[in-house]
Amino acid sequence: MDVLLIALALVPLTGAGWFALQELSAVRSARTNASIADRDTRELVQLIDLQAGLLDESNWRLAVQGIDDIGILPDVVSSMVGIDLVGERDRAAARVDEAASRIDDPAIDAALARIRVDDSEELRVIGARYDELQMKLEERSDHVFDALLSVAGDLPEGAELISTARVLEASAEMRSSTAKQLSSYFSAQFSGADIARQETAVLLQQRVIYDNAIKQINRSAASDSLAMAQIERLATSPSVGAFDSGVESLIATVQAGLGDGTNGGPGYVNANLRGVARQFEEGKESSELHLELVTAAGNDVLVASRMLTAHADSAIKQAIATIAALSVLSGLFALMLTRFIGQPLHRLAETAKQLRDGSISEDVRPRGPIEIREAALALNDASAHLRLAERQATALACGDARPGCWPRRPPAAWEHRCSRR
């Protein structure tokens, strides 16, 4: 009987437990996806950091070698503009090496070694090798980015991670555009009219990319994010504004047909030494500020990824706690059901057996549900009648046949019965 009652008590709770187990399975799947998203996020940040460093290395190396090719010593230019070109190139290369070591991809290491093997090659060959590696890194970044969006899109709390990832992508485009503008701007300054027009076309293209990227950030970035704080800093930076003005001025000059060759070469640089040095310094600072934007956006996306993982961990703990609570509740409910129904039924059955065997003992105390109490009272009535009959039979056997001397009612059970009614 107790087993049956416990089984009946566990039926509804088992159903609730099944749903809890289904929820636990779902949140564990979400936790797995959150781990994948976190892995993809970290790889994306590393790839973008490597691309930014590689672009700097390419620009500084091509600048050093390009100046040397036109017969100007890099040290001379460094003294004129106040920036150590060779030192900047070496620092950019060191940063690339550090970023590549975090990714730990032999193919990337081999490609870097191939690019750096010989400085005597033509600029176009070196530039083509940098572009080839950049293209491979961009393809890999796009693949990781798409995978991240797919995984995050399946998570209940993945919207913020998607937004921060888009901001990171746009920030990298802004930084890349700024670095390319810096390279094209000074290439135009050191070159003749034909190359100046080519570089101006590059500047126009990069300006469009830059504007689209900043619109994407304004749409996607949270107002309290690190990336948005850096965007506001860029908007108020004198160096960024001055460099943008210099680029716009150069574009206007070349488009007006004034770049006829008098704005290139050592003579032009010497005649405009102070302006060139100032623009170079402002362009370099602008590029560094945009690099800080990439770092800020990377931190935002890593924070979003950690929050997503923490949410998944919390959901797992909550599901486990729910299952544990249901288990405890099941045990308590089964125990209460056994005490409230099982024990009264057990006592009632024992009394019925005693009554069947002719062993009449004390009455059953009515307890439990009303149906069991009614059965106990009826059994007490039957027991009382049997005791009465037994006493009457005993009186007859003793020869006392006077009806007035017979007991006529069982005092205990009948008084209880009458009082209940």
Residue-number span of the structural domain to which 377 is assigned: 360-420
Comparing 50-54, 197-201, 277-281, the range with the smallest average pLDDT is 277-281
Do 376 and 290 fall into the same domain?
A: no
Comparing 56-70, 98-112, 170-184, the range with the smallest average pLDDT is 56-70
Token representation of residue 273 = 């030494």
Q: Is the pLDDT of residue 280 over 60?
A: yes
Q: Return the higher-pLDDT residue of 401 and 317.
A: 317
Which pLDDT band, with edges at 50, 70 and 90, does 174 fall under? very high
Do 312 and 387 fall into the same domain?
A: no
Do 103 and 19 fall into the same domain?
A: yes
Comparing 115-124, 132-141, 181-190, the range with the smallest average pLDDT is 115-124
Q: Return the higher-pLDDT residue of 93 and 14.
A: 93
- For residues 149 and 29, is the Cβ–Cβ distance under 8 A? no
Residue range 232-252: average pLDDT? Answer: 89
What would the pLDDT profile of 334-354 be if each residue is shown by its tens digit? 677 666 666 677 776 777 776
* Angle between the N-to-C axes of helices 238-255 and 273-337, in degrees from 0 to 180, rounded to the nearest 10: 130
Interatomic CA distance for residues 124 and 62, integer angstroms: 9
Do 56 and 122 fall into the same domain?
A: yes
Residue range 107-117: average pLDDT? Answer: 88
What pLDDT score does 260 carry? 46
The candidate with the shortest Cα–Cα distance to 192, out of 87, 265, 267, 294, is 265
What pLDDT score does 415 carry? 45
Q: Is residue 328 part of a domain?
A: no
Interatomic CA distance for residues 141 and 214, integer angstroms: 20
Q: Is residue 354 part of a domain?
A: no
What pLDDT score does 259 carry? 47
Q: Is residue 151 part of a domain?
A: yes
Do 87 and 153 fall into the same domain?
A: yes
Residue type, 334: A
Q: Is the pLDDT of residue 213 over 50?
A: yes
Comparing 86-100, 155-169, 383-397, the range with the smallest average pLDDT is 383-397
Q: Is the pLDDT of residue 13 over 90?
A: no
Q: Is residue 345 part of a domain?
A: no
Choose one of 293, 322, 351: the last residue of a domain.
322
Q: Is the pLDDT of residue 8 over 60?
A: no
Residue range 398-417: average pLDDT? Answer: 51
The candidate with the shortest Cα–Cα distance to 149, out of 293, 304, 25, 24, is 304
Number of domains in the chain: 2
- For residues 265 and 196, is the Cβ–Cβ distance under 8 A? no
Give the residue carrying structure tokens 């703990």: 317
Token representation of residue 69 = 């090719």
Q: Is residue 336 part of a domain?
A: no
Do 307 and 212 fall into the same domain?
A: yes
* Mean per-residue pLDDT of the chain: 77
Interatomic CA distance for residues 68 and 236, integer angstroms: 36
Do 56 and 144 fall into the same domain?
A: yes
What pLDDT score does 210 carry? 93
Q: Is residue 347 part of a domain?
A: no
Q: Is the pLDDT of residue 247 over 90?
A: no
DSSP one-letter string for 78-132: HHHHT--HHHHHHHHHHHHHHHHHHHT-HHHHHHHHHHHS-TTS-HHHHHHHHHH
- For residues 368 and 340, is the Cβ–Cβ distance under 8 A? yes
Q: Return the higher-pLDDT residue of 270 and 256.
A: 256
What pLDDT score does 9 carry? 55
Interatomic CA distance for residues 82 and 94, integer angstroms: 21
What pLDDT score does 137 carry? 92
Do 95 and 158 fall into the same domain?
A: yes
Residue range 317-336: average pLDDT? Answer: 73
Q: Is residue 316 part of a domain?
A: yes
Query: 345 Cβ partners below 8 Å, 6+ apart?
Result: 1, 368, 372
pTM of the model: 0.70
Choose one of 322, 340, 372: the last residue of a domain.
322
Residue range 139-166: average pLDDT? Answer: 88
Q: What is the DSSP letter of 73?
A: -
What pLDDT score does 214 carry? 92
Q: Is the pLDDT of residue 200 over 80?
A: yes
Percent of the chain whose predicted confidence (pLDDT) is above 70? 68
- For residues 31 and 154, is the Cβ–Cβ distance under 8 A? no
What pLDDT score does 296 carry? 93
Do 50 and 176 fall into the same domain?
A: yes
The candidate with the shortest Cα–Cα distance to 342, out of 374, 370, 368, is 368
Do 288 and 402 fall into the same domain?
A: no
Give the residue carrying structure tokens 């931190």: 299
- For residues 183 and 131, is the Cβ–Cβ distance under 8 A? no
Taking CA atoms, 356 is separated from 19, 124, 349, 362, 389, in Å, by: 48, 111, 10, 14, 15
Do 93 and 163 fall into the same domain?
A: yes
- Of 120-129, 150-159, 266-275, which has the strongest mean pLDDT? 150-159
Q: Is residue 341 part of a domain?
A: no
Do 253 and 365 fall into the same domain?
A: no
- Give Dmax (Cα) for the chain: 153
Q: Per residue in 214-244, is it b (16+ CB within 10 Å) or e — as a string?
A: bebbeebbeeebbbbebbeebeebebbebbb
